[in-house]
């Protein structure tokens, strides 16, 4: 038996398929004999084919998984369209008279070396994206197969050193019953995708690619993070029973669809969903969410060449509000910056963009962008139960300024004879330690808090959750993090306000008992986690299904 990190719960029993790492190196071919125009045409064709493939993948992921998971492919398309990236390769073919293959290889090597040497976590994280895009360009230049993982037999367990975003998008959950990787953690892209797709996964196994061979029978225990290679009949039967019991339990969770939960004092506990676009609503309704705890509106701004117009945003917000039929919908205003950038919006180069010009900070500096969104939100407010949330707030001054712009927009619309709701709650994301530490003062002015644990944890512990070198420091249950969370909830309640949570911790089974103890009012998460979270909460004797 081998141990790893349990990244996605469940049991998988099947045959191994080892995904070999792809070698992109090509032989040097600098020669006057190179037909420059032909090589440029080859490269242009490869870029176009790559763009078409990535667009299909992005659309598939957005439709089947969600807008947030599809965002990574939008960044890949932006990289292909960047004249400083692919344009440089085309220029290299012409200036140095080298093959398209060599030009792409030099481009990838150059960018990887540059990003690796820069003391900027955002840019270092882009290495994986650059390699993924480069690998796709190479495949299309050399006529390689695009979808290595899309046509696997049933009951396949994929084993790899790691899985790229493109790899995970190809996995067919009807055929791939689990996957194993040498590297990665619970917050790696492949782990997050596995949980969303509900594919069992164990990651960070070190040498699993060397420990198995193609065709081996393997049992994957995604609950304990264990793997059994070529099990005996008794072990196989034991895990078949565990798998059957687990699958039956999942079916029984369907009973909880639409059921509401109350505490011992009769107070309703909200179990809501996070979404990235109106397209995500179907999965929210299928899982019976009590509402939307986080609508990440930045996805409306991506995959396009210009800012979305006011009318366009209004239609998106109205659609979500109408489909929720009066259930609460918390819409977060634009959170661009850090790892989320727009190719049509010029942003300053920063040493540390995660601590810089982003989210509400950027919106307050560019009211012409902010006001378009706020006007659209206010116009849509009459179609449902809208709550507006400002992200990345570090002080009362910022919240007051943002709310001031909102009131300006309300006055403008009323002067134009356009109706707005008078009962919109306005709150903030608590994701910066300073906001948690001054929650007592902020609670006097906001209508609600929603704790964004993903950023709150990494800002509190100075540990980037996506950086494998320091990911061991990223501890949701760290005493410092828990103190900030408890403080935020308590101060909200003292002021008569409610407090929710929309980070990954809201569906963390290890954290939920503590959050219930603290009195958290709303848990917002991926739609796929709603039913299992309800079941866990109902295992607490103080909580019951509302009659």
Are 470 and 384 in the same domain? yes
Residue 453: inside a domain:
yes
Name the catalytic one among 189, 363, 409, 420. 189
Question: Which residue intervals of 164-309 are DSSP H helices?
Answer: 165-170, 189-197, 208-211, 233-252, 281-286
Structure tokens at 416: 């134009």
**CATH number where 196 lies:** 3.50.30.10
Tell which residue, 319, 310, 212, 324, has the closest CA to residue 272.
324
pLDDT at 154: 92
What's residue 201's pLDDT? 94
Q: Are 149 and 7 in contact (CB under 8 A)?
A: no
Contact 12, 178 (CB under 8 A): yes
| Per annotation, catalytic residue among 363, 420, 499, 502 | 502
Q: Which residues, 6+ apart, have CB-to-CB distance to 13 below 8 Å?
A: 155, 177, 217, 218, 219, 220, 236, 239, 240, 243
Q: How far apart are CA 406 and CA 371, in angstroms?
A: 7
- Cα(258)–Cα(276) distance, rounded to whole angstroms? 22
Q: Please name the residue that has the structure tokens 């910022």.
A: 398
Predicted TM-score (pTM) of this structure: 0.70
- Domain membership of residue 28 (yes or no) is no
b (16+ CB within 10 A) / e for 44-61? eebbebbbebbeebbeeb
Same domain, 324 and 397: yes
Domain assignment of residue 29, yes or no: no
Same domain, 487 and 354: yes
Q: What is the pLDDT of residue 468?
A: 62
Here the tokens at position 97 are 């008279």
Q: Are residues 127 and 160 in the same domain?
A: no
* Both tokens assigned to 367: 């009211």
Backbone angles phi, psi at 200, to 5 degrees: -55, 140
Q: Is 499 a catalytic residue?
A: no
User: Residue 498 forms beta bridges with which residues?
Assistant: 448
345 within a domain of the structure (yes/no): yes
Task: Write down the H helix ranges in 416-529.
Answer: 433-437, 439-442, 453-461, 479-494, 512-518
Rounded CA gap, 102 and 83, in Å? 18
The pair of three-digit structure tokens given for residue 207, joined into one six-digit string: 């040498």
Quick one: 446 and 319 in the same domain? yes
7 and 102: one domain? no
Residues 127 and 184 reside in one and the same domain: no
Count of residues making up the chain:
547
Range of the domain at 161: 2-21+148-253
Q: Is residue 30 part of a domain?
A: no
Q: How many other C-beta atoms lie within 10 A of the C-beta of residue 283?
A: 19
Q: Quick one: residue 352, left, alpha or beta (phi over 0 = left, psi -120 to 50 = alpha)?
A: beta
- DSSP conformational letter for 372: H
Q: Is residue 84 part of a domain?
A: yes
d(CA 476, CA 461): 10
Residues 202, 155 share a domain? yes
Asked if 138 and 164 sit in the same domain, the reply is no
Copy the structure tokens of residue 527: 């739609």
Give the model's pLDDT for residue 53: 87
Sign for the CA dihedral angle at 168, 458, 400, 438 comes to positive
**Does residue 380 fall inside a structural domain?**
yes
Q: Does residue 189 carry a catalytic annotation?
A: yes
Question: Is 293:330 a contact under the CB 8 Å cutoff?
Answer: yes
Residue 258 lies in a domain: no
For residue 90, the domain's CATH number is: 1.10.274.10
- DSSP output for 133-174: HHHHHHHHHHT--S-TTSSPPSSEEEEES---HHHHHH--TT
Instruction: Report the C-alpha gap between 353 and 97 in whole angstroms.
Output: 38
What does the pLDDT profile of the chain (547 residues) look like in tens digits?
Answer: 899 999 888 999 999 999 887 654 444 444 447 788 898 899 999 999 999 888 888 887 777 666 666 777 877 888 888 787 888 888 888 888 888 888 898 888 887 777 666 544 444 556 667 888 888 888 888 876 555 676 789 999 999 988 877 787 778 888 999 999 998 777 666 777 787 778 999 998 999 999 999 999 999 999 999 999 999 999 999 999 999 999 888 888 889 998 999 987 788 999 999 998 898 898 899 999 999 999 999 888 876 788 999 999 999 999 999 999 999 999 999 998 765 677 778 777 777 777 888 899 999 999 999 999 999 999 999 999 999 999 999 999 999 999 999 999 999 999 999 999 999 999 999 999 999 999 999 999 999 999 999 899 989 999 876 666 777 788 999 999 999 999 999 999 999 999 999 988 999 999 999 999 999 999 999 888 899 999 999 999 999 998 7
Nearest C-alpha neighbor of 334 from the set 380, 287, 291, 368: 368
To which H or E segment does residue 185 belong? none
Point out the domain boundary residue: 97, 126, 142.
142
DSSP 3-state of 498: strand
Same domain for 301 and 169: no
The enclosing domain of 404 has a CATH number of 3.20.20.60
Distance, CA of 352 to CA of 32 (rounded, Å): 44
Coil, strand, or helix at residue 364?
helix
CA–CA distance, 221 with 431 (Å, rounded to integer)? 34
Is 167 in the same domain as 308?
no
Question: Counting Cβ atoms within 10 Å, is residue 265 exposed (0-12), middle (13-18) or buried (19+)?
Answer: exposed
Number of domains in the chain: 3
Residue 423 tokens read as: 């009962």
CA atoms within 13 A on the CB side of 250: 12
Cα 285 to chain centroid distance, Å, stands at 20
- For 45, residues 6+ apart whose C-beta sits below 8 A from its C-beta are 140
**DSSP letter, residue 432:** S
Last residue within a domain, chosen from 90, 114, 142: 142
Which of these three, 91, 124, 142, is where a domain ends? Answer: 142
DSSP 309: P
Statement to judge: residues 290 and 383 lie in one domain = yes
244 to each of 16, 90, 197, how far by Cα in Å? 21, 55, 19
**What is the DSSP-derived secondary structure letter of residue 272?**
E
CA 154 to chain centre: 28
């Amino acid at each position: 038996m081998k141990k790893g990190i349990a990244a996605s719960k469940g049991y998988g029993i099947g045959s191994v398929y080892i995904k070999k790492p792809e070698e992109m190196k090509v032989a040097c071919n600098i020669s006057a004999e190179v037909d420059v125009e032909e090589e440029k045409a080859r490269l242009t064709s490869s870029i176009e084919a790559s763009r078409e493939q990535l667009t299909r993948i992005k659309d598939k992921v957005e439709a089947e998984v969600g807008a947030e998971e599809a965002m990574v492919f939008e960044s890949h398309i932006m990289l292909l369209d960047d004249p400083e990236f692919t344009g440089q390769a085309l220029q290299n073919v012409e200036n140095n008279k080298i093959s398209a293959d060599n030009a792409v290889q030099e481009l990838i090597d150059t960018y990887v070396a540059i990003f690796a040497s820069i003391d900027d976590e955002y840019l270092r994280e882009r290495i994986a994206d650059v390699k993924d895009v480069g690998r796709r360009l190479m495949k299309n230049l050399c006529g390689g197969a695009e979808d290595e993982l899309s046509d696997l037999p049933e009951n396949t367990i994929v084993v790899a050193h790691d899985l790229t975003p493109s790899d995970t998008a190809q996995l067919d959950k009807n055929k791939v019953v689990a996957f194993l990787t040498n590297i990665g953690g619970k917050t790696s892209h492949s782990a997050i995708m596995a949980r969303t797709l509900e594919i069992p996964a164990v990651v960070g196994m070190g040498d699993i690619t060397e420990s198995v061979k193609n065709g081996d029978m393997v049992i994957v225990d995604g609950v304990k993070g264990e793997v059994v290679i070529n099990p005996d009949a008794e072990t196989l039967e034991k895990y078949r029973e565990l798998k059957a019991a687990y699958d039956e339990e999942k079916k029984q969770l369907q009973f909880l669809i639409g059921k509401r939960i109350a505490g011992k004092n009769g107070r309703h506990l909200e179990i809501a969903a996070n979404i990235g676009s109106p397209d995500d609503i179907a999965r929210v309704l299928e899982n019976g969410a009590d509402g939307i705890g986080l609508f990440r509106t930045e996805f409306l701004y991506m995959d396009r060449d210009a800012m979305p117009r006011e009318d366009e945003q209004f239609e998106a917000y109205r659609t979500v509000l109408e489909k929720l039929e009066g259930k609460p919908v918390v819409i977060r205003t634009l959170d661009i910056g850090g790892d989320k950038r727009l190719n049509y919006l010029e942003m300053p180069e920063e040493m540390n963009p995660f601590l810089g010009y982003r989210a509400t900070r950027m919106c307050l500096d560019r009211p012409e962008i902010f006001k378009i969104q706020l006007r659209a939100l206010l116009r849509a407010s009459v179609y449902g139960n809208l709550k507006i949330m400002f992200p990345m707030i570090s002080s009362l001054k910022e919240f007051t300024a943002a709310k001031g712009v909102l009131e300006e927009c309300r006055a403008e619309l009323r002067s134009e004879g356009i109706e707005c709701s008078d009962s919109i709650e306005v709150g903030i994301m608590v994701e910066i330690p300073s906001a948690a530490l001054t929650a007592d003062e902020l609670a006097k002015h906001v209508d609600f808090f929603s704790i964004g644990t993903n950023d709150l944890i990494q800002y509190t512990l100075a540990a980037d959750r996506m950086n494998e070198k320091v990911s061991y420091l990223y501890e949701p249950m760290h005493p410092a993090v828990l103190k900030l969370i408890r403080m935020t909830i308590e101060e909200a309640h003292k002021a008569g306000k409610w407090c929710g949570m929309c980070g990954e911790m809201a569906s963390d089974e290890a954290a939920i008992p503590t959050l219930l103890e603290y009195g958290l009012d709303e848990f917002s998460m991926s739609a796929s986690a709603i039913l299992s979270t309800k079941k866990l909460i109902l295992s607490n004797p103080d909580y019951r299904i509302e009659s």
